[in-house]
Structure 1
Amino acid sequence: MLVDTQPATYQHAPASPEVRDHWVNSQLIGVLMDNMGPSLLAGVLSLPVLLYLMAGQANTVALALWGVLTMAMLVMRYRLIGIYRLRHDSLEGPQRMSFVQRYKWSWTIMAVLWSGPVFLTYQVASQATQFVCGLVVLGHGLLALTTFSAYLPVFRRYTNALIVAVLVGLVVATVRMSHKPEVVQTGLVLMALLILFWGLLVMAGRRLHEVYRASFELQFSNQELIDSLTLQTRASLRAVATKNRFLASAAHDLRQPVHALSLYADWLATEPEMARDISPRILQSTRAINELFDSLFDLTRIDAGNYKVRLQHVNVEKLFDDLSAQFEPVAVGKSLRLRTHTRPTIIWSDPVVLRRILGNLISNALRHTHQGGVLIALRHREDMLLFEVWDTGVGIAREHQQAIFQEFFRVSQHQGTEDSLGLGLTIVSKLTSLMGYQLALNSVANQGSVFRVMMPEFTQREPVQENPSGAEDNSVF
């Protein structure tokens, strides 16, 4: 089975529709509150004019009550603007929406109050007064189109309350004057025109709202794009810096064995009789160069996404036996004990990748352990399998426990790091991420370390075989 490891192109995760809607609605509420100033000014200017025109023609008590209530609502709306500017203008999202929800009743009451002149003057005052009052009421309806349409719920609430209240006023007056056919006919015509005006007003408000919303949605998308490009630019700069550091360190580490190899070759050319002494050193330098190139190629393939994972059944006991056979001579040469601990277990993994991970951890443990030994173990947990590599070595100080997974990092004061390339743990970190495993480290300086490769349960789920009877056993262990 092949698993494509081509890394996904870096992208800034787009915001959820809920986040977008909250942001857009908060901006629309901001426009609504910014436009309340002209609406308030129009109300303050039209109120004394209406009171002057209706004085002596409408019921005095009703007119005074309407005037007091309207003035109180205008003052209240002025205070409302102040509350918004002070407490909510700098906030966005749910805070602004909760503010509108708390005071939404004020738009309804204000709309009903502006329908008052129709109740007070229709078929009661002079035609000129009725005409002016009608114009003012229609003017407030048109003003709502430009003032409140940014936030559709408020616009609908205000417009519906205004038109319905005016319609009720016309119906009441028409019923009261039903004994006059010409009044009934005029009332019906006015009601029809008012309903038509209502429909046109709602339609225009919806379209204007869509323009507002589309504008802010475009602004939100542009900001998302800017943020994404900014993050990608920063990631690219970090990648370039990492590659530069990587290449500089690789050139430095490669220069040492190549230079040594050149010196040994010159020495051998001038003193051929020293071949027996020089040959092991030449071999050691050659192995160091090969190890460096192998590690660099591994890292390059992983980063480029060309590392193909082949998942199959792996016998853990056989894997541990092979690793013991590979590293036992190193352990014996340093007078260390190399032990394994597991029980018969078949896992689902890539044997080459798993051997590379554990091999690098064992090699790292043996390099930094000078007495005691190294233990390789597989432990079973309820929701995962844990490969552990224990050592009794020099340990890793807390301040270095993150840096050791970086390319070419070596703890300078550690004995045994002189011939280390500083790439083994980097490869382990990248391969565990590639396989979906988790890598953990516990270490105490001068006491030892334990590296844990955790294989979550989902990594052990085998794919459904389309033809089980014809499947071949691809296990290599």
Structure 2
Amino acid sequence: MAPAPGASPAPHDDALDRRILREQADSLLGTSMAASVGAFITALGFWGIFYYQTRQPAVLVWAALLHVTQAVRFEGNRRYLKTPKAQRDPEGAARWYCKALTFNALAWGAAPWFFFPTNNLPLMSLMMLILLGMSSGGVASLAPYRPALFRFIVPVLAGLAAALLWQRDAIHIFLAVCTLAYLYVNLKFGLQQNRLLTEALRARYEKEDLAQRLAEQVRMVERASLEKTRFFASASHDLRQPLHSLGLFGSAIAARLAGTPDEPLARNMMHCVDALEASFSSMLDVSKLDAGVVDVKPEPVALAGVFKRLQASLGRQAEAQGLALRFKPGSKWVLADAALLERMLGNLVHNALKFTQQGGVAVVARTRGAQVSVEVWDSGRGIEAREVPRIFDEFYQVGNLERDRSKGLGMGLAIVRRIAGLLNVPVQVQSRPARGTVFKLLLPRADLQASAPPPQAGMSRARAPWAMGSLRVLVVDDEETVRTSTAAALRLYGLQVDVADGLQQARDIAARLGDGLAALITDFRLRNEEDGIEVATQLRALLGRDVPVLLVTGDTAPERVRQARQSGLRVLYKPVRVQDLVDALGEQVAAGKITGKITGKGAEEEVAGLTPVAGEEGAGVRSL
């Protein structure tokens, strides 16, 4: 397809050109059906008037010639349009159409030569009017396809102009010149229309191709995101398993080495294990928030109680760093989830302390109309303006390109952002380099009397006393190291432990122990597509009672977290410290039923299902 005159050459794209040609052929042959009917009626009236006026046989000869060309063109159009789109040959159809159009145009252009009304001005005017009108009408229907314009307009008007010139008098020569001028104007207009239509088609298809490519890119990104989620979930599970065993073995070793010269080695090893556990717990918190399993329970909360607990948990850190830590809650109450609010503020304060070298941190509450602005001020080094939009991203840490582990993992503010989204709490950040930073949480104000007793935050609970020595526990895990380490750690507390690697072995042991089985500790994901939920269900059915169950898992994928939450079982996420495992087991046995709570890495968490602030790197001003 030839480029339009004056248009800059576009990059060659055969596929795009074929799509444009197909559209042009469909439009050209589609409009030709109606045009053919109109041309037939016009031709019938045209030669009928001339034959009635002149009685020349040449009129009938011309009429027969014209109607044959019209019939051939009409039949060809009909066949093409009846052919399914997928089977059409637009390029071949366009070539055929131009040939048929040329014969039809030559027939119209030959009319003045067959029966030119030399001495009849009305008939000559009628002939010129019909031929000029046919040319103008053809421009609109033929504009989609450039070659068709030349194949029709030029033969018709050139034939008329030549017949007028053949008369060789001034009037006819003038009319011939006017006809040629009319030919030029019509071609110019038709070519302009063709260029606009072609450019519109090209732009349309280019946009469609771009939209398809963008959609494919979106699908690729979504697939990559799913693959990344699956990869991290699998990697997290595979890493948590040995880390869980390492922590339990380390606890057993530390207990055996207590009071010996090698005790410091065991203590240092446990410090390393605790650091790894804190990192994994941060990622687990994000998985829980993304999975939507954290319940939000807004209620009136006294900031004095929240601030007091933060002072108790973070005061030692501030004192050890020689920093001042001030809390000024006033008598203000807010409407929020107490546990989630405490976690947000704890992350902010913890990292503010970590990245403040001198001065201190102040946490204040100010009334702002129907809201309370809870603000965390520090005198640290501040944040550059260009860094502020990124500080809530996962693993992003300002000024820690070397990934110094002592500066945290980079998940604290990511957790703050997610909790703020759950609570629908706007978070504002203002910072000046070398002067400090302030984070502001805008919370709805709750109008309560200052003397009203503060609601329980639900962040702590008493540990139920229980007798350990007489309890028999069944541990089900498909990994031998996990079974061995768990049994070794629990036996330090006087528990009698049996181990099983799957459902069948667990059923055999449970059937043998009967009422002697006091509790079940099972991994979530087992071999052969078995899972801990199924194990708990079948053992309870076998024993005919609700055996206390702890579901221990290293899966952090959002769908796995939701599935564990919906099971109604008590859930602990690997790595679990032996003390937390024993405490949770004791509470289950003492309660005599399944509490349905989700527990992470400490006895302090209950309402939010998140790890305690002290065990997490936090989310300070410069460490995310």
In the superposition, the TM-score normalised over structure 1's length comes to 0.50
Match for residue 87 of structure 1 among 193, 196, 219 = 196
Residues 257 and 266 in structure 2, CA contact (< 8 A), matched pair in contact too: no
Shift in CA distance, 73/399, structure 1 to aligned 2, threshold 3 Å: same
Match for residue 54 of structure 1 among 49, 53, 57 = 49
Report the more deviating stretch, 366-375 or 270-279.
270-279
Taking the aligned partners of 2:223 and 2:26, their CA distance within structure 1 comes to 38
Deviation at 1:61, TM superposition (A): 8.8
Shift in CA distance, 85/355, structure 1 to aligned 2, threshold 3 Å: farther
Q: Does 1:475 align with 2:463?
A: no
Look up the match of 2:315.
328
Match for residue 134 of structure 2 among 71, 84, 89 = 71
Residues 300 and 446 in structure 2, CA contact (< 8 A), matched pair in contact too: no
The 3-state SS of whatever aligns with 1:51 is: helix
Q: CA-to-partner distance for each residue in 1:395-450, whole Å, 9 max, x for gaps?
A: 34456545543444444269985162332222212222222333343444444333
Q: CA-to-partner distance for each residue in 1:180-228, whole Å, 9 max, x for gaps?
A: xxxxxxxxxxxxxxxxxxxxxxxxxxxxxxxxxxxxxxxx9xx999987
Look up the match of 1:297.
284
Look up the match of 1:125.
none
Q: CA-to-partner distance for each residue in 1:104-148, whole Å, 9 max, x for gaps?
A: xxxxxxxxxxxxxxxxxxxxxxxxxxxxxxxxxxxxxxxxxxxxx
Match for residue 296 of structure 2 among 282, 305, 309 = 309
Look up the match of 1:418.
406
Residues 254 and 267 in structure 2, CA contact (< 8 A), matched pair in contact too: no
Q: Does 1:35 align with 2:30?
A: yes
Taking the aligned partners of 1:233 and 1:415, their CA distance within structure 2 comes to 29
Residues 301 and 334 in structure 2, CA contact (< 8 A), matched pair in contact too: yes
Look up the match of 2:424.
436
Shift in CA distance, 261/395, structure 1 to aligned 2, threshold 3 Å: farther
Residues 243 and 273 in structure 2, CA contact (< 8 A), matched pair in contact too: no
Shift in CA distance, 355/336, structure 1 to aligned 2, threshold 3 Å: same
Look up the match of 1:176.
none
Look up the match of 1:375.
362
The 3-state SS of whatever aligns with 1:390 is: strand
Residues 268 and 274 in structure 1, CA contact (< 8 A), matched pair in contact too: no
Residues 390 and 448 in structure 1, CA contact (< 8 A), matched pair in contact too: yes
Look up the match of 1:150.
none
Q: CA-to-partner distance for each residue in 1:252-306, whole Å, 9 max, x for gaps?
A: 8999999899899989989964367557645644543443343233222222222
Q: Does 1:361 align with 2:348?
A: yes
Shift in CA distance, 382/240, structure 1 to aligned 2, threshold 3 Å: farther
Deviation at 1:352, TM superposition (A): 0.9
Taking the aligned partners of 1:231 and 1:327, their CA distance within structure 2 comes to 44
The 3-state SS of whatever aligns with 2:437 is: strand
Taking the aligned partners of 1:308 and 1:287, their CA distance within structure 2 comes to 27
Deviation at 1:354, TM superposition (A): 1.0
Taking the aligned partners of 1:30 and 1:385, their CA distance within structure 2 comes to 68
1:6-25 aligned within 5 A: none
The 3-state SS of whatever aligns with 2:308 is: helix
Deviation at 1:67, TM superposition (A): 2.3
1:132-171 aligned within 5 A: none
The 3-state SS of whatever aligns with 1:325 is: helix
Taking the aligned partners of 1:406 and 1:437, their CA distance within structure 2 comes to 18
Taking the aligned partners of 2:454 and 2:46, their CA distance within structure 1 comes to 95
Taking the aligned partners of 2:314 and 2:47, their CA distance within structure 1 comes to 105
Q: CA-to-partner distance for each residue in 1:134-168, whole Å, 9 max, x for gaps?
A: xxxxxxxxxxxxxxxxxxxxxxxxxxxxxxxxxxx
Taking the aligned partners of 1:39 and 1:235, their CA distance within structure 2 comes to 49
Q: Which residue identity does 1:36 align to in structure 2?
A: T
Residues 310 and 346 in structure 2, CA contact (< 8 A), matched pair in contact too: yes
Q: Does 1:450 align with 2:438?
A: yes
Shift in CA distance, 443/251, structure 1 to aligned 2, threshold 3 Å: farther
Taking the aligned partners of 2:436 and 2:422, their CA distance within structure 1 comes to 27
Q: Which residue identity does 2:316 align to in structure 1?
A: P
Q: CA-to-partner distance for each residue in 1:313-358, whole Å, 9 max, x for gaps?
A: 1122332232223212211111111123444332221111111111
Residues 394 and 414 in structure 1, CA contact (< 8 A), matched pair in contact too: no
Q: Which residue identity does 2:342 align to in structure 1?
A: R
- Compute the RMSD of aligned alpha carbons: 5.0
Look up the match of 2:505.
none
Q: Which residue identity does 1:71 align to in structure 2?
A: M
- Looking at secondary structure, tell me which structure has more helix per residue: 1
The 3-state SS of whatever aligns with 1:299 is: helix
Shift in CA distance, 276/382, structure 1 to aligned 2, threshold 3 Å: same
Taking the aligned partners of 1:302 and 1:43, their CA distance within structure 2 comes to 70
Look up the match of 2:306.
319
Q: CA-to-partner distance for each residue in 1:27-81, whole Å, 9 max, x for gaps?
A: x999767733554566567645542222153785995586267336415525676
Q: Which residue identity does 1:241 align to in structure 2?
A: K
1:231-270 aligned within 5 A: 231-241=218-228, 244=231
1:173-212 aligned within 5 A: none
Q: Which residue identity does 1:86 align to in structure 2?
A: R
Taking the aligned partners of 1:298 and 1:241, their CA distance within structure 2 comes to 18
The 3-state SS of whatever aligns with 1:303 is: helix
The 3-state SS of whatever aligns with 2:345 is: helix
Deviation at 1:310, TM superposition (A): 1.5
1:386-401 aligned within 5 A: 386-397=373-384, 400-401=387-388
In the superposition, the TM-score normalised over structure 2's length comes to 0.40
Match for residue 405 of structure 1 among 385, 392, 397 = 392
Shift in CA distance, 228/308, structure 1 to aligned 2, threshold 3 Å: farther
Shift in CA distance, 89/307, structure 1 to aligned 2, threshold 3 Å: farther
Deviation at 1:381, TM superposition (A): 4.3
Residues 33 and 81 in structure 1, CA contact (< 8 A), matched pair in contact too: no
Residues 387 and 453 in structure 1, CA contact (< 8 A), matched pair in contact too: yes
1:99-118 aligned within 5 A: none
Deviation at 1:394, TM superposition (A): 3.4
Shift in CA distance, 353/260, structure 1 to aligned 2, threshold 3 Å: closer
In the alignment, structure 2 segments of 5+ residues that lack a partner are 1-22, 54-121, 144-188, 448-452, 458-624
Shift in CA distance, 325/447, structure 1 to aligned 2, threshold 3 Å: same
Shift in CA distance, 318/66, structure 1 to aligned 2, threshold 3 Å: same
Residues 36 and 81 in structure 1, CA contact (< 8 A), matched pair in contact too: no
The 3-state SS of whatever aligns with 1:55 is: helix
Deviation at 1:243, TM superposition (A): 5.7
Q: Which residue identity does 1:425 align to in structure 2?
A: L
Look up the match of 2:474.
none
Identity, % of aligned pairs?
21
